[in-house]
Amino acid sequence: MCGIVGATSERRVSGILLEGLKRLEYRGYDSAGIAVIDKSQHLQTIKRTGKVQALADAIDETPVDGTIGIAHTRWATHGGVTERNAHPHLSEHEIAVVHNGIIENHETLREQLQALGYEFVSQTDTEVIAHLIHHERKTHNDLLDALKAAVRQLEGAYGTVVMDTKDPERLVVARSGSPLVIGVGIGENFVASDQLALLPVTRKFIYLEEGDVADINRSDIKIYDSANEAVEREVIDSDVNYDAGGKGQYRHFMLKEIHEQPIAVRNALEGRLSETTVLDDAFGEGAADLFKTIEHVQIIACGTSYHAGMVAKYWLESMANISCNVEIASEFRYRQSFVRPNSLLVTISQSGETADTLAALRLSKEMGYRGSLTICNVATSSMVRESDLAFMTRAGAEIGVASTKAFTTQLTGLLMLTVAIGKYRGMNEQQQAAIVKALQTLPAKLEEAVELDTEIEALAPDFASKDHSLFLGRGNQYPIAMEGALKLKEISYIHAEAYAAGELKHGPLALIDEEMPVIVVAPNNELLEKLKSNVEEVRARGGIMYVFSDKNARFTSDDTMNVLNVCHCDEVIAPIVYTIPLQLLSYYVAIIKGTDVDQPRNLAKSVTVE
């Protein structure tokens, strides 16, 4: 979603800010802007719609020159994609502000500020912050005090960084609901919405907590908590490795990340299995004590992570002998749900910052859950910090907006969770050992699945001219069909819908004709015969099918059916293995359609607003 970078240094900061924006661009990217304070204490601002490169080109033509500055990539919420609506937003050419999040009472504040004579030039909620600070500055001698007074009036979520030409050595920042991290340099300091933005300039980071405000200059950082007490926050040495240009031999990050899945899953398994079971420690200290006491699992997530949760429900109920509900976070947080006794709340999130999922986690603390666990890819994220337990998926930085390796490593973690909980609920040693054995084969099976690359590329032209498609699966492959459909629509913009194959006759069969390709996920499992009946229902109505299946399932290609053989694998890991051909299919269809694969239109990697 939106990205923030700020820097105060002895050197020119525009290069640092631009590099930071490029590294954040994958999160949200309809426009970008930069503001610096120059030697004569004036604000120099440039904004552009489109990619960060457009901003970089503009700065090449008209360089901005300052040793303190802020910059932003925007993903529009309030107001269209225009230069006026891009950040930074200014007040009276003195105050400059960048902001992530949503100010919910912006309309009231706007009216109040207009009554005070402030003129608004954008349609954004952010502009109220700039004018509010400018207004508060009149009655507060100090910029930080003005910021504190302003944020007391804000409702909603914000991570914001502010500069003032009258106090040109300082960045003042506030966090409530949108993450901010301070980068500690030598004789220079930085701030960003994600440490990835700052890795070229520092490895030392301070994570602000909810309600913190901070005062940052070149040589000093002061932090105040929500009670306005000065606090020391730990400086963390980051070991994250991120090479912004790192597509390697691949044309897109997404393809690279698809191919990285065998290794990502190997990393996710590393050191977490014994010969016969899953080690409780994989989920953090105290996991065993918590798992012993729980009688129900409630999973909350969004998007692809929600699909991982849906697969986990099949696993947990069938193998760990525990009831499990899965819910989309934006629904869960706004309804009154019934909390079963001794429930474990599990959030699943690649980023650990998704606003709805994080809000659901926070809400659960007042609802009587026994404990919380997050399955997450970012160790420093809010969800990891705020959950009782965490399973780190170790997928490595995922840059493509469409999630791939984050998903398969989440599934790997959730299958391990099934054993970790199941062993306290009657899963016997042989059953545990059988799942462990299947997990150990997973990286090699994923390697085989990735090798289908060229075969799948050959299927892609059949889809590229279509407007719609239908994905079918049964059992734990139904969520995989949903994930396949999500991938296709995200990056190829083809309408794709997934159905549990048994539901076909209750409506979607009416859609079947030769213009509606039907993708069937059909591993050789106990539901195969049922699925074959569904396949016949489609065939009888002239549908064209693409069946992803195991050789032993005995589907044969003909005029109406294209069969793609996926490697034979243990049934329990089949949802993870069958994900890969569907990812590859959407990728190659998107290539033919010429879409922006890594940064599809209108989408963001990490959705930190509701």
Active site residue 2: yes
Q: How many helices (H) and strands (E) does the chain have?
A: 19, 25
Q: Which is nearer to ligand G6P, 528 or 603 (CB)?
A: 603
Select 277 or 304, whichever has its Cβ closest to ligand G6P.
Answer: 304
**56-62, Cβ contacts within 8 angstroms, sequence gap of 24 or more:** 56/18, 56/22, 59/14, 59/18, 59/34
Cβ-based nearer residue to ligand G6P, 91 or 261 = 261
Residues in touch with ligand G6P (CB under 6 A): 302-305, 349-351, 354, 357, 401, 403, 603, 605-607
Output the smallest distance, CB 309 to ligand G6P, in A: 10
Identify the H or E element spanning 146.
Answer: helix 143-151
Residue of 2, 302, 324, 569 marked active site = 2
Q: Closer to ligand G6P at the Cβ: 11 or 385?
A: 385
Taking the C-alpha atoms of residue 265 and residue 411, their distance in angstroms, rounded to an integer, is 9
Shortest Cβ 311–ligand G6P spacing (Å): 14
Q: How far apart are CA 349 and CA 357, in angstroms?
A: 8
d(CA 308, CA 283): 17
- Which of 182, 155, 375 lies closest to 283 in space, CA to CA? 375
CB of 291 to ligand G6P, least distance (A): 23
Question: Rounded to an integer, what distance in angstroms lies between the CA atom of residue 179 and that of residue 34?
Answer: 20
> Closest approach of Cβ 201 to ligand G6P, in Å?
25
| Cα(178)–Cα(171) distance, integer angstroms | 17
Nearer CB in complex with ligand G6P: 22/605: 605
551 is catalytic: no
Contact yes or no for 169/218 (Cβ under 8 A): yes
Q: Which stretches does DSSP call E strand in 260-319?
A: 296-301
Minimum Å gap between C-beta 138 and ligand G6P is 41
Q: Which residue spans within 198-251 are E strands per DSSP?
A: 204-207, 213-216, 221-224, 230-231, 236-237
Beta bridge partners of 522: 549
Residues 9-42 as b/e (b if ≥16 CB within 10 A, e otherwise) read beebbbebbbbbbbbbbbbbbbbbbbbbbbeeee
280: its two tokens? 């409780």
CB of 352 to ligand G6P, least distance (A): 7
Q: Across-strand partners of 47?
A: 33
Tokens of 225: 């908590």
**Rounded-to-integer distance, Cα 203 and Cα 184, Å:** 8
Nearer to ligand G6P, 85 or 350 (CB): 350
C-beta of 135 vs 487, nearer to ligand G6P: 487
Which residues neighbour 15 within 8 Å (Cβ) at sequence distance 6 or greater? none
| DSSP-assigned letter for residue 155 | -
DSSP bridge pairs for 203: none
We find the least distance from the C-beta atom of residue 48 to ligand G6P, in angstroms, to be 23
| 475 backbone φψ class: left, alpha, beta (φ>0; ψ -120 to 50) | left
The residues, any chain, with a CB within 8 Å of residue 419's CB and separated by 6 or more, are 277, 278, 319, 320, 427, 432, 435, 436
Give the position of tokens 């030769």: 514
Q: Shortest distance, CB of residue 510 to ligand G6P, whole angstroms? A: 30
Q: Which is nearer to ligand G6P, 193 or 606 (CB)?
A: 606
For residue 450, the minimal CB distance to ligand G6P (Å) is: 20
Report, in Å, the least distance between residue 402 CB and ligand G6P. 6
Residues 278, 420 contacting (CB under 8 angstroms): yes
* Residue number, 58 or 379, with CB nearest to ligand G6P: 379
Of the listed 22, 47, 313, 605, which one is catalytic? 605
**Considering beta carbons, is residue 189 or 608 the nearer one to ligand G6P?**
608
Q: Which residue is nearest to ligand G6P (CB)?
A: 303
Active-site positions?
2, 605
